Amino acid sequence: MTYSNKDKFYLAVDCVIFGFDNDKLKLLLYKRDFEPQKGMWSLMGGFLRINETLDDAAYRVLARITGLRNVFLEQLSVFSNLDRDPADRVISIGYYALINILDYDDRQLKQYGAQWFAIDELPVLIFDHAEIVGKSLRRLKRKAKTQPIGFELLPENFTITQLRNLYEAIYQRRIEPANFRRKIMSMGLLNRLPIKDMNNSRKGAFLYSFNKEKYEILTAKGFSFDLSGI
Amino acid sequence: MTYSNKDKFYLAVDCVIFGFDNDKLKLLLYKRDFEPQKGMWSLMGGFLRINETLDDAAYRVLARITGLRNVFLEQLSVFSNLDRDPADRVISIGYYALINILDYDDRQLKQYGAQWFAIDELPVLIFDHAEIVGKSLRRLKRKAKTQPIGFELLPENFTITQLRNLYEAIYQRRIEPANFRRKIMSMGLLNRLPIKDMNNSRKGAFLYSFNKEKYEILTAKGFSFDLSGI
DNA sequence: CCAAAAGTGTTAAAGGTACACCCATGC
DNA sequence: GCATGGGTGTACCTTTAACACTTTTGG
């Protein structure tokens, strides 16, 4: 072949899977089921196969553990330190996924010994996975300000308070409820449903859904989602 | 070996090299010197070797063509389409570099048939290199707002007008000189030299240099470089 | 009626935008 | 002295930030 004098490498994907559980940002981790470091906590991972792209591989890994398809999944970056895997040279492409925490297949999860961990109570992870998690978190914080990706972590319908709780979890600080509400409503991207969530107050809080179609139309016209000033 | 049943892949790096030439943003391209598509314009690239990281490989490629080390170089993302290289399956990691256009080794450049092209007058590129360039440009536009990377494209000493010209080239729009000046000066990151550049006006314009040490100290204290509002 | 969360109003401070104007100097 | 790009002043407007206030309703 043309490049036959060049070196070849093992390629893996590792997925950071975010979920949001009412007031805490969480990660889905699993107990590694092969050597080396079998039994330690790890990101979901898998090796790239010759007939698939990296995105394909990442979706395959995600579906294997959670049973989910059609979720938000994005490439993060490449990790290529010479000794990141002690067993052999493996270059890993980090991915991060945002999923609705109520939505996964619980049997599959149990089968793989997978478990949700609060983002500030993570166990020790294998290899350089802590670094991959750190980078994912920074990416999430950056992206959530300028793209409507937060909704991926919530159920289809949600209250403004839930949405604010999510942003408070991501940015780890209090956000003024009145100002947050006005800011998000002023974009005109939320559909109010004729339903109230009565769980948290006597008055009840209206449920909303994100209007993705409208977002795409507005974006095509030059609109930018922007929560940078909250 | 542990993973011996897994597939292996060729890995390449491709570098988008930005330069700034007084009023135009430019890219350094070269005529590809091996098959397939020998003779076509291409990004600087090379294959990963077993004893180096991807960053190492990208620096090696950059040094081979420009003679430069210690320049800004950052990973962009991975391109893994099955047929991106018609000759064989090659996964490419895109990088982008910001260099001072006056600083490269001209002999090396000529030797490789390399040439600077204005960003809006690029030739047809091989493979998916146009996509890699597009992604680099979006990254540069995003990053230049929140990190002081613009200075990498300028000489050590520069006038405020030159700096503004650079940002105007990156964002392809006019920036109000008075407001830009105030904004950049208010960060307190520029050292004014007791020298005036007399090339463009009778009055002369003071030269400044970027105070990297101060930037790092301020950043450690929570400061953020921010030109988002200009 | 009251507690508590949902939701609205209001105002001061900060930041962005536009443009008028002064400054220095070689010709 | 005047043309020219460098550099400053300033007034208007929008956005942010903080907090007081009103609304709703099960108990």
The most distant pair of C-alpha atoms in chain B lies apart, rounded to whole Å, by: 72
- Distance, CA of A173 to C1' of C6, in Å: 21
* Whether the predicted pLDDT of A59 surpasses 80: yes
The percentage of chain A sitting over the pLDDT mark of 90, rounded to a whole number, equals 87
Domains defined along chain B, listed by start: 10-146 (3.90.79.10), 154-220 (1.10.10.10)
- Distance, CA of A136 to C1' of D17, in Å: 30
* Whether the predicted pLDDT of B218 surpasses 70: yes
Question: Are B75 and A75 a contacting pair at CB < 8 A?
Answer: no
Q: What is the pTM of this model?
A: 0.95
pLDDT for the residue numbered A125: 98
Closest CA to B3 of A129, A92, A125: A92
| Contact map slice: A 21-60 vs B, CB within 8 A | 35-36, 47-55
* Whether the predicted pLDDT of A98 surpasses 80: yes
pLDDT for the residue numbered A1: 61
Closest protein residue to C26 (Cα–C1'): B202
- Residue A139: pLDDT band by 50, 70, 90 thresholds? very high
**Shortest CA distance from B3: residue in chain A:** A88
pLDDT for the residue numbered B1: 61
Mean pLDDT of A100-115: 84
pLDDT in tens, A184-203: 999 999 999 999 999 999 99
Closest CA to B23 of B153, B138, B194, B132: B153
Instruction: Provide the mean pLDDT of chain B.
Output: 95
Angstroms from B167 CA to nearest CA on chain A: 20
pLDDT in tens, B116-171: 999 999 999 999 999 999 999 999 999 999 999 999 999 999 999 999 999 999 99
Report in angstroms the alpha-carbon separations of A93 from A36, A72, A78, B3: 19, 16, 4, 17
Cα torsion A153, A156, A162, A163: sign = positive
* Residue ranges with strand state E in chain B: 8-21, 24-31, 41-42, 44-47, 72-79, 90-98, 114-118, 190-197, 205-210
Give dist(CA A111, CA A165) in Å, integer. Answer: 31
Q: Looking at strand C, which nucleotides approach a protein CB closer than 7 A? A: 3-10, 15-20, 23-26
Let me know: does B105 contact B64? Beta carbons within 8 Å: no
> CB within 8 A of B118, min separation 6: which ones?
B24, B25, B26
Let me know: does A189 contact A198? Beta carbons within 8 Å: no
User: What residues of A are in contact with residue B61 (Cβ under 8 Å)?
Assistant: none
Cα torsion A127, A133, A139, A142: sign = negative
pLDDT for the residue numbered B107: 80
The percentage of chain B sitting over the pLDDT mark of 90, rounded to a whole number, equals 87
Residue A141 near chain B (CB below 8 Å): no
Say which amino acid occupies B41.
Answer: W
Let me know: does A152 contact A71? Beta carbons within 8 Å: yes
* Whether the predicted pLDDT of B44 surpasses 90: yes
- Residue A103: pLDDT band by 50, 70, 90 thresholds? confident
- Residue B47: pLDDT band by 50, 70, 90 thresholds? very high
